[in-house]
């Protein structure tokens, strides 16, 4: 038997230590109890992973329960298989199309599926991309509108003309951002009386030769109502006949573009309307994927000016990209493809129908308490907004939101935009995972808090700016 003997290597080699990743060392657990890491400065040294985990975990316990968050449109439950796939892909950077060609291919398939779903005249000619969400998708779509307008008006811009974008005052904040970031005048049609979103006549009336486009929202963030996309397009057709102005439409389908194709098949809102140049949606809303994915599609390459598209090297070839970010997680795109594959049209229809049924049923139950007036009924997006009934003086919507929060429910209360700032509402977003059973428990919570609220001498919240305001 060979005897092993140390020290045959040279002197330097004998003293060489194993390479140890700083993550591998488990620090002294007793010592760890004394180490009180600073909160706003990088600690001087490492600590045991178990300790670090527990510290972070414990602090996060005070976050709300996402499944009870009826404020968010964003997916809060996916199947374990989707979570497993996301775990498998969490190290993949979406931009590394060369290194992760299959992820890139799944993204391409998702774009093709959406083009087909949204009735693109030539699905193979449709161009599109994934984004981090609808906000980025809206920025990209808005940029394409602006660039097309600038190309058409090269004689006046940037010299004298100032571009504008026409939309309702109910648009999501991403459109205000877009206009501010890219120096575009936001022409917003205010709400009027019981009209809580853009109307065709006002949209056409605000357009002029500097209008880069009109944004039509399929599924208003404020009350879940669909804007009349076909009628807006028709009003713009009329404008073109009268004045020659040809104003394109972008449909912000952050939520509705993944509801209407399944539940409202007769509603014509998509690429069937020739004036619709582009559409966005949030994969992470009714696309049923955890946060971090959106989609933007253009009818054809003509709607997306070539100079906005950047080229990255893809398998030695040329991969066009259009994005604000460079690095971005690939996992969400993979999860989107999983959901498309897993559910198909029938599966999506069943899931969205269940959410709509829950929304409608819950809206009726809340109306039946007699304390509330519904502003929408959950029959477009599975979302509804309601305010206190005319005779209710003892409490307001902010009181209701606060009292529900004591029972774990996150239901936002907020005021409407111009010209209905006088109107304060509650809004409930019904999503996959918010079951009829959970809705029943919410009704029970209403029944528990209402007697106490009715017994109040008046609303407790005087300062509405301090009230809950989370509604995006």
Ligand X SMILES: Cc1ncc(COP(=O)(O)O)c(C=O)c1O
Binding interface with ligand X (CB under 6 A)? 73, 133-135, 138, 172, 174, 217, 219, 221, 252, 254-255, 282, 294, 472
Pairing of strands 211-217, 164-168: parallel
What φ, ψ does residue 149 adopt, rounded to 5°?
A: -65, -45
Residue-wise burial string across 144-166, b where 16 or more C-beta atoms lie within 10 A, e elsewhere = bbbbbbbeebeeebeeeeebbbb
Of the pair 71, 239, the CB lying nearest ligand X is at 71
* Contact indicator for 228, 200 with CB cutoff of 8 Å: yes
CB of 254 to ligand X, least distance (A): 3
CB of 222 to ligand X, least distance (A): 9
CB of 285 to ligand X, least distance (A): 6
Task: Give residue for tokens 């713009």.
Answer: 236
Q: What residue is closest to ligand X based on CB? A: 133
Of the pair 135, 188, the CB lying nearest ligand X is at 135
* Contact indicator for 252, 269 with CB cutoff of 8 Å: no
Alpha-carbon gap, residue 382 to 283, rounded angstroms: 16
Of the pair 71, 449, the CB lying nearest ligand X is at 71
Of the pair 253, 459, the CB lying nearest ligand X is at 253
CB of 137 to ligand X, least distance (A): 8
Pairing of strands 310-314, 294-298: unpaired
Of the pair 198, 449, the CB lying nearest ligand X is at 198
CB of 49 to ligand X, least distance (A): 32
Of the pair 331, 449, the CB lying nearest ligand X is at 331
Catalogue the long-range contacts made by 24-31 (C-beta closer than 8 Å, 24 or more residues apart). Answer: 26/50, 27/51
Tabulate helix, strand, coil % of the chain (nearest 5).
Answer: 40, 15, 45
The number of beta carbons lying within 10 Å of the beta carbon of residue 69 is: 20
Question: What would the two tokens of residue 333 be?
Answer: 């795109």
CB of 287 to ligand X, least distance (A): 10
Of the pair 255, 401, the CB lying nearest ligand X is at 255
Question: What would the two tokens of residue 178 be?
Answer: 């877009």
- For residue 317, give the H/E element and its range: strand 317-321
- For residue 186, give the H/E element and its range: strand 185-189
CB of 406 to ligand X, least distance (A): 26
What φ, ψ does residue 173 adopt, rounded to 5°?
A: -60, -20
Of the pair 73, 271, the CB lying nearest ligand X is at 73
Of the pair 164, 280, the CB lying nearest ligand X is at 280
DSSP bridge pairs for 186: 165
CB of 136 to ligand X, least distance (A): 7
Alpha-carbon gap, residue 202 to 127, rounded angstroms: 31
Of the pair 174, 453, the CB lying nearest ligand X is at 174
CB of 133 to ligand X, least distance (A): 3
Would you call 90 helix, strand, or coil by DSSP? coil
CB of 327 to ligand X, least distance (A): 18
């Amino acid at each position: 038997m060979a005897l092993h003997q140390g020290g045959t290597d040279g002197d330097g080699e004998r003293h060489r230590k194993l390479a140890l990743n700083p993550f591998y060392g488990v620090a002294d657990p007793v010592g760890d109890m004394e180490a009180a890491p600073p909160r706003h400065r990088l600690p001087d040294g490492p600590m045991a992973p178990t300790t670090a985990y527990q510290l972070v975990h414990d602090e996060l316990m005070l976050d709300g329960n996402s499944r009870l968050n009826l404020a968010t449109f964003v997916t809060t439950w996916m199947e374990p298989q989707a979570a497993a796939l996301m775990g498998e892909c969490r190290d993949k950077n979406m931009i590394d199309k060369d290194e992760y060609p299959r992820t890139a291919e799944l993204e391409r398939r998702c774009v093709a599926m959406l083009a087909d779903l949204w009735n693109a005249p030539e699905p193979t000619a449709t161009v599109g991309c994934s984004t981090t969400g609808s906000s980025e998708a809206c920025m990209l779509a808005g940029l394409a509108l602006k660039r097309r307008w600038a190309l058409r008006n090269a004689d006046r811009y940037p010299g004298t003309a100032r571009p504008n974008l026409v939309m309702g005052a109910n648009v999501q904040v991403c459109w205000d951002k877009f206009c501010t970031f890219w120096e575009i005048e936001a022409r917003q049609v205010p709400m009027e009386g019981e009209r809580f979103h853009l109307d065709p006549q006002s949209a056409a009336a605000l357009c002029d030769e500097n209008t880069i486009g009109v944004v039509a929202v399929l599924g208003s963030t404020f009350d879940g109502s669909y804007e009349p996309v076909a009628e807006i397009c028709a009003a713009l057709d009329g404008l073109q006949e009268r004045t020659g102005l040809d104003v394109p439409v972008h449909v912000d389908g952050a939520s509705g573009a993944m509801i209407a194709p399944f539940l409202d098949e007769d509603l014509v809102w998509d690429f069937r309307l020739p004036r619709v140049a582009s559409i966005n949606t949030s994969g992470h809303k009714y696309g049923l994927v955890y946060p971090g994915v959106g989609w933007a599609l253009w009818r054809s390459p003509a709607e997306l000016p070539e100079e906005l598209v950047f080229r990255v090297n893809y398998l030695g070839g040329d991969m066009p990209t259009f994005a604000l970010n460079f690095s971005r997680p690939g996992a969400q795109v993979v999860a989107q493809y999983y959901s498309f594959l897993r559910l198909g049209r029938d599966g999506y229809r069943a899931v969205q129908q269940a959410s709509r049924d829950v929304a409608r049923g819950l809206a009726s139950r809340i109306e039946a308490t007699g304390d509330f007036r519904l502003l929408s009924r959950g029959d477009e997006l599975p979302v509804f907004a309601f305010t206190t009934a005319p005779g209710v003086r003892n409490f307001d919507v902010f009181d209701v939101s606060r009292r529900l929060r004591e029972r774990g429910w996150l239901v936002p209360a907020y005021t409407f935009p111009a010209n209905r700032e006088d109107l304060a509402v509650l809004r409930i977003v019904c999503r996959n995972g918010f079951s009829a059973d959970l809705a029943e428990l919410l009704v029970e919570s209403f029944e528990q808090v209402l007697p106490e609220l009715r017994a109040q001498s008046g609303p407790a919240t005087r300062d509405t700016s301090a009230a809950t305001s989370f509604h995006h």
